[in-house]
Structure 1
Amino acid sequence: MLMVALIVGGLLLLFAGGEMLVRGSVGVARRLGMSELLIGLTLVGFGTSMPEMVTSLQALSDDAVGLSVGNVIGSNVANVLLVIGAACLISPIITHPRALARDGLFMVAATVLFAVVLWFDMFTRLVGLGFVAILIVYLTTSVILDRRKNSPAAVVHSGEAEVIETHEPLWLSLVLALAGIAGVVIGAKLLVTGGSDLARVFGISETVIGLSIVAVGTSLPELVTSIMSAAKGKADVALGNVLGSNIFNILAIMGVSATVYPFSVIGQPAASGAKPVDVQALEYAPGESLVGMQDMGALALSVFLLVLFAYTGRKLARWEGAVLLGAYALYMALSFNLLPHFGDLV
């Protein structure tokens, strides 16, 4: 079972590489005198999203568009329904609406923008550069606003960095960061290869593989960081980390991906000489979108539930965490056709 070994090995390397990259880069930044605020706003967000970034780029370089886009959508859904749901079960999350308002509203806006671009299939190099430019403006504005006294958001972003404990000397932090990059790159290659093979062997679309196995694997850094935050009594930091990660996933990953490899989410006929593919088994025929309404509906539902639970009642209770986890289980069951789709019941 070579493909299973590739997938498991890829997931392990992505997880270990992502952890080393975050720890090493944060350690280097602290040794160079970077503030906890800036570390939390930039390095933690970039570091925890690096597995998704490299995996999506690797998938596009292998013409696995469905796996690349599915990875981003699935990671954002998993960040909310799985990561926050699991953190809530460990410890109820006390929320501070004022501290999370800016990032929360910006995440909603970024998600709406992504849905529009996806609907009109506009992942061109110009749009990709636009996504990156929006992210840079957001980060610059956040740093300026958070440096003001009594900024509630600054507490959350600084807390994201403080959760990462580093005591290594500069040279060891550099080694960890470089080793983390190597682990993420190799892990992404193994995961994309194994995931593509799995899709072909079992007749599952690459998009579903990206939405599930790949997305969960690349979301492991966020899961670990959020659980650590909840265990240390900084559950609001866990929520802030997920908001930031979802913003990075859309603007940074899709932006860089479209800039490097402009792509289309409309299924294309198989190239001459390519292996025959059972279109019905893969669900997406040429001319149809690789991303279905069910997937975008899951993304919209996750955002709605997060906003509803986080900004009402000032607490994410354990029962709300159970609802999020239940919604994720239902989505995975529908994705793998373990339950009848709504259209099949009509």
Structure 2
Amino acid sequence: MSAILFVIIGLIGLVVGGEMLVRGAVSAAKRFGISPMVIGLTFVGFGTSTPELVTSLQAALAGSSGIAIGNVVGSNIGNILLILGITALIAPVAVDPKAFQRDGSVVAVATLLCLAAVLTGQIKQLMGVGFVSALIAYLVLTLWSEKRAGGTPAATVYEAEAEAVAGPETTLGVAIVIAVVGLVITILGARFLVSGAVSLAQAAGLSEAVIGLTIVAIGTSMPELVTAIIAVRKGQGDVAIGNVLGSNIFNILGILGVTAIVQPMAVPAEIIRLDIWVLCAATLVLIGFARSGWTISRREGGLFVVGYAIYLGVLLAL
């Protein structure tokens, strides 16, 4: 019971802390005069992925590489099949062709890099450096190209992402305090979650990787779900899919990269055997659905959710 309680407290902490962190950071960025496009690309992307980063770091440092890697792989699978699926069931998600062409391609490349790293059986520091360097290059090139072109569809999506998580109308000092408190709550929530997840895995006879791929991954992805639902209810479906693409890029290149730099990790055999291939398949299907009519329909959203349910069933049955 204590393990379950720790997991619940941890998940609540991650959701509340992550939400406070993003909204406080966005509000502070606006007070500093940072453009909505930059806020949407960086602050929103980094902010919604903070729960995954903190959780994976703490898990890796605790020697639970299954939770650390499973969290990244499972979050990306959940982002596509569960979060985008639920979002499309609420309302069809419009896809901007030009915005998707670049970010969709980067997601595909990042997923292939993740596959290559996982198949080696060891996520090493050098790989982490390469991942983080690729993320920095992506951000710099994106900001440079968008500022140079001006008013592109992709820039519009980033600006809408910033608006979708608009921070409170308050002073700079209060906004910073909200962000800092959110970060502290997120860190404490991750500590509770990792501790409870390890104990729960031991008590239930499940591997840490399975716990990381399911409970931990779903819990740390809640900020993305909240952002996507808010966006689609406002009729901004392109923001919903942009948030998923951005989160998947940050999860692989940023979170897995930073975690590997801090603590190299051995890849659990079950992730090599099943989950990394599910991630590749989900990414491929996402690209196919998005390019088919440039809309993720309710039917396709339903297929995503059913696919996720089947995946969980197979995962827990093995």
Normalised by the length of structure 2, the TM-score is 0.97
Give the 5 Å matches for 1:48-197: 48-147=48-147, 148-166=149-167, 167-197=169-199
SS of alignment partner, residue 291 of structure 1? helix
Contact 1:199 1:209 in 2 (8 A): yes
Contact 1:145 1:151 in 2 (8 A): no
Which position in structure 1 is the counterpart of 2:202? 200
Partner letter of residue 161 of structure 2? E
**Alpha-carbon separation, structure 1, partners of 2:50 and 2:8:** 18
1:239-261 per-position Cα deviation (integer Å, ceiling 9, x unaligned): 00100000000000011001001
**Alpha-carbon separation, structure 2, partners of 1:203 and 1:330:** 21
**Alpha-carbon separation, structure 1, partners of 2:30 and 2:298:** 35
**Alpha-carbon separation, structure 2, partners of 1:122 and 1:194:** 25
Which position in structure 1 is the counterpart of 2:224? 222
Displaced runs of 4 or more, over 3 A: none
**Alpha-carbon separation, structure 2, partners of 1:149 and 1:129:** 31
**Alpha-carbon separation, structure 1, partners of 2:315 and 2:182:** 32
Correspondence for 2:305 among 292, 316, 325:
325
Alpha-carbon shift at residue 292 of structure 1 (Å): 3.5
Contact 2:119 2:272 in 1 (8 A): no
1:251-299 per-position Cα deviation (integer Å, ceiling 9, x unaligned): 0001100100112225xxxxxxxxxxxxxxxxxxxxxx25242212210
Which position in structure 2 is the counterpart of 1:245? 247
1:310-330 per-position Cα deviation (integer Å, ceiling 9, x unaligned): 111121111110000000000
Partner letter of residue 59 of structure 2? A
1:183–1:295 CA distance, 2 compared to 1 (3 A): same
Contact 2:74 2:214 in 1 (8 A): yes
Partner letter of residue 62 of structure 1? A
Which position in structure 2 is the counterpart of 1:43? 43
Contact 1:56 1:69 in 2 (8 A): yes
**Alpha-carbon separation, structure 1, partners of 2:151 and 2:108:** 25
**Alpha-carbon separation, structure 2, partners of 1:55 and 1:150:** 36
The structure having more radius of gyration, on CA atoms, is 1
Tell which deviates more after alignment, 124-133 or 138-147. Answer: 124-133
Partner letter of residue 250 of structure 2? F
Correspondence for 1:256 among 250, 258, 268:
258
Which position in structure 2 is the counterpart of 1:296? 276
Partner letter of residue 305 of structure 1? V
Normalised by the length of structure 1, the TM-score is 0.90
Partner letter of residue 160 of structure 2? G
Structure number having the greater helix percentage: 2
Give the 5 Å matches for 1:11-26: 11-26=11-26
Which position in structure 2 is the counterpart of 1:235? 237
Gaps of 5+ in 2: none
**Alpha-carbon separation, structure 2, partners of 1:314 and 1:125:** 38
Give the 5 Å matches for 1:260-279: 260-265=262-267
Alpha-carbon shift at residue 95 of structure 1 (Å): 1.3
Which position in structure 1 is the counterpart of 2:30? 30
**Alpha-carbon separation, structure 2, partners of 1:145 and 1:191:** 39
The root-mean-square deviation of aligned C-alpha atoms, in Å, is 1.0
Alpha-carbon shift at residue 157 of structure 1 (Å): 1.1
Alpha-carbon shift at residue 153 of structure 1 (Å): 1.0
Which position in structure 1 is the counterpart of 2:4? 4
**Alpha-carbon separation, structure 1, partners of 2:63 and 2:120:** 20
Correspondence for 1:314 among 276, 294, 297:
294
Identity level (%): 44
**Alpha-carbon separation, structure 2, partners of 1:56 and 1:321:** 28
**Alpha-carbon separation, structure 2, partners of 1:203 and 1:225:** 34
